[in-house]
Amino acid sequence: PIPPPLRDRMEVIDLAGYTEEEKLEIAKRYLVPRQIEHNGLVPSKIEFTEDALRLLVEGYTREAGVRNLEREIGAACRKVARRVAEGEHVRKVNVTGPRVRELLGRPHFQPEARRRTQQAGVATGLAWTPVGGDVLFIEAAAMPGKGKLTVTGQLGDVMKESAQAALSWVRGHAQLEQDWFAEHDLHLHVPAGAVPKDGPSAGVTMATALISLVYGRPVRDDTAMTGEITLTGQVLPIGGLKEKALAAQRAGITRVIAPRRNEPDLEDIPEHLRQDLEFVWAAEVEEVLDAALDGDGGFAGGRDRGMLGAETQPDR
């Protein structure tokens, strides 16, 4: 690591990850020609279609750069080169989407948001990492107990404090039966427990997961969110919005809920990415819940209708 006094005298340049369209262009112009040459082929023997390259980007890699993308292209080229050497292919090979699956097997990554958020109590969040943005799922569960909060998933101190702040806000605003929180233990879990996680930007996601749990209403599967929460219900600005938006795009998410004070950061996001994503700006937690919860009426409508009936009790 760089000593802090020396780092203080240096200018730090942050490089954001590539968008999907940028990866496609890099693959077309540089990665494919290089791997064709490195694997003993010539352009007259093999060609990658745009659908094939898009599948490689979406289904076989999850990265801010293009290193693993080049590896997958190289693996496909080597398999084609072997077949050419064995005389299986005489004519030019067009590598299409189905041909990619034939050469490399089934995709390594599948969109998880739709499957993971089918059940109430699961919300999709966005995180920043040194190698780009990432999508994380926050799960909430309740069971009979004495009001204890358990937080797991190798979380740092700041993230644990965000969980406590989210629970305090939910306890103060969720219209539940008297003493419900005193008679139930709550558990918040962030999967991928081997990966350390920290930071305050998951606060609104935790609050959404808890409200989804106690009201029995799933979170929209096309929506991810980020933002710090306060005890008064304000949504504070966060960093790395561009990286988080790129992570949402890679995961197939089409709506992003972000703090209203981050709206000027929209200028840093490429125009084509802005067209693919719908940004919902929120200044209060209620606005996040109105946009995130599935069904009509948002948070207020579900609360006013008394969504927490006996049939939706989370400790059922």
- For 37, 126, 177, 192, 195, the CA distances from 160, given in Å and listed in that order, are 51, 16, 26, 16, 15
H or E element in which residue 134 lies = strand 132-144
CA distance 261 to 70: 38
162 has catalytic annotation: no
Element containing residue 138 per DSSP (H, E): strand 132-144
**Set 23, 197, 242, 244: catalytic member:** 244
* Bridge partners (DSSP) listed for residue 219: 293
146-177: b (≥16 Cβ within 10 Å) or e? eeebebebebeeebeebbebbbebbbeebeee
DSSP-derived letter for residue 31 is I
Residues 316, 310: Cα–Cα separation, whole Å:
8
223 strand-pairing partners: 255
Residue 171 in contact with residue 104, Cβ under 8 Å?
no
The question of whether 197 is a catalytic residue gets the answer no
Parallel, antiparallel, or unpaired: how do β-strands 235-236 and 228-229 relate?
Answer: antiparallel
Catalytically annotated residue among 23, 197, 201, 242: 201
For helices 67-85 and 97-104, give the axis angle rounded to 10 degrees: 80
Catalytic positions, written as ranges: 201, 244
